[in-house]
Amino acid sequence: MTSTNDEHPGIGPGLGRLEGRVAVVTGADSGIGRATARLFAREGAKVVCVDRLESGEPRVDRLIEADGGQAVFVKGDVAERSTNEAMVAMALERFGDLHVVFLNAGTGIRKRIHELSDEEWNHVIDTNLHGVYHGVRAALPHFMEAGRGNIIATASSYGIIASARYPAYSATKAAIVNLTRAMAIDYGPEIRVNCVCPGPTDTPRIRELPPRPRLLTDEQKARAGQSVPAMHRMARPEEIAYAVLFLASDESSFVTGHALVVDGGQTATATSVSS
Ligand SMILES: NC(=O)c1ccc[n+]([C@@H]2O[C@H](COP(=O)([O-])OP(=O)(O)OC[C@H]3O[C@@H](n4cnc5c(N)ncnc54)[C@H](O)[C@@H]3O)[C@@H](O)[C@H]2O)c1
């Protein structure tokens, strides 16, 4: 079995920052969601891991359990309301509460807008924006009744700046940034709402975007690094996960309506290189 530390060497020992909390993480079996689900569990949270696929090997909930944590897996498409209702129900039934939802599942298609089919456009909107909408709708009744809650979504640096050949993706991520602000106003002070805006991050999604091969070549990595003028490299998933952990923990108790940019300086320049 893949050892936890081999897969995510950047995750340190838990400090109990989410002790006693129950968290839902969508898109949990790969990339940023996988690292975050594992980090949340390390920090003491019980984690409901949601994904439409079971592509991680070992699956993320088993990886967490092997690490001494508690997790369950819900298989489903976040674009479906039923998946979101099922993940909240699972948190309440299995773990008896829900404190944090990290609505992270996302996808993108690299084409200019006239090249996108209606199905492709709708697929990106349904996954990225409606996935967040359904997740929030599912969690809010419990959060409002409990008088507290913490919502975190994954936007992108491409919700702040735009990227070439990424119209649906850029539109949904900008929408998530402002949806975050709108919901923070509507549901504060009891419920905090924030999003994280990762820059280029070395995950399977980035590697598999057509026409790229499964693994990035050194040249492609260098090209991705060019769009990160300060750090000259992509992020590791753990580096995004630690930002999400801050938003999920009480350490960020006065942070809401915020888009936390974790991009190695990518948005510090007006010039964006398509990664
Ligand atoms: N990797 C990057 O460079 C980067 C940069 C900025 C933002 N993001 C965002 O981070 C999030 C995670 O991306 P990642 O790079 O870790 O990708 P990833 O492909 O490694 O992981 C995404 C996971 O989400 C799941 N998923 C996708 N659509 C789903 C759906 N409809 N229902 C349920 N599960 C679904 C996939 O099966 C996969 O396991 C996405 O929202 C993405 O837009 C990624």
Residue 244 lies in a domain: yes
Q: Identify the active-site residue in 133, 158, 166, 169.
A: 169
pLDDT of 268 strictly over 50: yes
Q: Helix (H, G, I), strand (E, B), or coil: what is residue 192?
A: strand
Q: What's the chain's average pLDDT? A: 92
List all residues whose CB is within 6 A of at least one atom of ligand 1.
Answer: 26-27, 29-33, 51-53, 55, 77-79, 104-107, 127, 131, 154, 156, 198, 200-201, 203-206
Domain CATH code at residue 189: 3.40.50.720
Per-residue confidence (pLDDT) for residue 211, from 0 to 100: 40
Cα of 14 vs its chain's centroid, Å: 20
Residue 10 lies in a domain: no
Per-residue confidence (pLDDT) for residue 214, from 0 to 100: 41
Q: What is the mean pLDDT of residues 104-119?
A: 97
Tell me whether residue 133 is one of the annotated catalytic residues: no
Question: How many angstroms separate the first and last alpha carbons of the chain?
Answer: 32
State the pairing for strand pair 46-51/70-75. parallel
Per-residue confidence (pLDDT) for residue 210, from 0 to 100: 45
Q: Which of 182, 195, 206, 173 is nearest to 252 (CA)?
A: 195
Which residue's structure tokens are 């936007």? 155
pLDDT of 234 strictly over 70: yes
Per-residue confidence (pLDDT) for residue 206, from 0 to 100: 67
Residue 230 lies in a domain: no
The total domain count for the chain is 1
Q: What is the mean pLDDT of residues 182-194?
A: 98
* Strands annotated E in 104-170: 149-154
**Alpha-carbon distances, residue 172 vs 119, 156, 164, 239, 245 (angstroms):** 15, 9, 15, 23, 23
53-62, 97-106, 210-219: the lowest-pLDDT one: 210-219
pLDDT of 215 strictly over 60: no
Residue 51 lies in a domain: yes
Q: Which domain holds residue 241?
A: 16-199+235-260
Q: Which residue has the higher pLDDT, 110 or 56?
A: 110
- Model confidence at 1, in pLDDT bands (50, 70, 90)? very low
pLDDT of 56 strictly over 90: no
Residue 226 lies in a domain: no
Give the rounded percent of residues in the chain with a pLDDT score beyond 90. Answer: 82
- Cα R_g (the chain), whole angstroms: 17
The tens digit of pLDDT for each residue in 66-87 reads 999 999 999 999 999 999 999 9
Residue 211 lies in a domain: no
Residue 68 lies in a domain: yes
Per-residue confidence (pLDDT) for residue 101, from 0 to 100: 99
Which residue's structure tokens are 């569990």? 41
Nearest CA to ligand 1 atom 20: 31
- Exposed, middle or buried by CB within 10 Å (0-12, 13-18, 19+), for 271? exposed
Residue 271 lies in a domain: no
The tens digit of pLDDT for each residue in 132-163 reads 999 999 999 999 999 999 999 999 999 999 99
Pocket test for ligand 1, best of 87, 127, 177, 203 (most atoms within 8 A of CB): 203
**Residue 132 in tokens:** 């967040």
Q: Please list, residue by residue across 157-168, b when 16 or more beta carbons sit within 10 angstroms of its beta carbon and e when fewer do.
A: bbbbbebeebbb
Per-residue confidence (pLDDT) for residue 2, from 0 to 100: 43
pLDDT of 4 strictly over 70: no
